[in-house]
A and B are shown apart, each in its own frame.
Chain A
Amino acid sequence: SQQGEEDPQALSIQEGENATMNCSYKTSINNLQWYRQNSGRGLVHLILIRSNEREKHSGRLRVTLDTSKKSSSLLITASRAADTASYFCATDFNQAGTALIFGKGTTLSVSS
């Protein structure tokens, strides 16, 4: 079963624009992670935010977490063509947090 659900399913923007993806989940979590997947390849970890954190930054990435609404957002600023990929949120499946439940992902297309 899917824990996280991303919204929108697909997003098309121009280079230089910002991209925002949202994730909703169902049960309480220890942390939430975002991953990127280029077509047909493995996932790459982007950022992890703990349940007691509200916002986190990493380069052009900004993640927010609202545990009261069970939702998170990923903002990519000044998008580049190389950001074209699928983006997944993932929540911890077990106490250790090393088994994750992924959503269906948002497919981002950045055109130059």
Chain B
Amino acid sequence: ETGVTQSPTHLIKTRGQQVTLRCSSQSGHNTVSWYQQALGQGPQFIFQYYREEENGRGNFPPRFSGLQFPNYSSELNVNALELDDSALYLCASSFLQGSGDSPLHFGNGTRLTVT
């Protein structure tokens, strides 16, 4: 089975710019979630997409937006980058089940540095 892949692995942007991060879900999974992990912290939930619709959002401003495509790949877009956006961005896929106990499968992340 194909795991979760993210691109690019590293990215350097300037404050005020926009960035797009990409994720390819694990085969058979229909849900993708994005997390932000600052250095020394645990991952923070940004949002989740299920069947191309946003299915939950954490405490992040609207300049963080996303897309999920019919093949279950996904994008995370961040506009008007701020220095505090520097972090590891993790994508995770799962199969949304009614019992609600589907483990997340993570990619290795994109390290974003904002200067």
Contacts and interface: CB of A to CB of B under 8 A. Distances in A.
Given A31-B100, A42-B4, A48-B101, A99 B88 contact: no
B90 to A, nearest CB: 6
Query: Chain A: interface secondary structure?
Result: loop
Interface in A88-112: 88, 92-105
B100 A99 contact: no
Interface string B19-61: 0000000000001010100001111110010000001101100
Given A30-B101, A43-B90, A94 B56 contact: yes
Contacts of A93: 45, 56, 58
A68 to B, nearest CB: 21
Interface residues of A, number: 30
Q: Is the interface of B mostly helix, strand, loop or mixed?
A: loop
Interface in A8-33: 30-31, 33
B108 interface: yes
Interface residues of B, number: 33
B4 A30 contact: no
A45 B88 contact: no
Q: Which 8 A-B pairs have CB atoms at the shortest separation, nearest pair first?
A: A97-B100, A42-B106, A102-B42, A45-B103, A42-B108, A43-B106, A96-B100, A99-B56
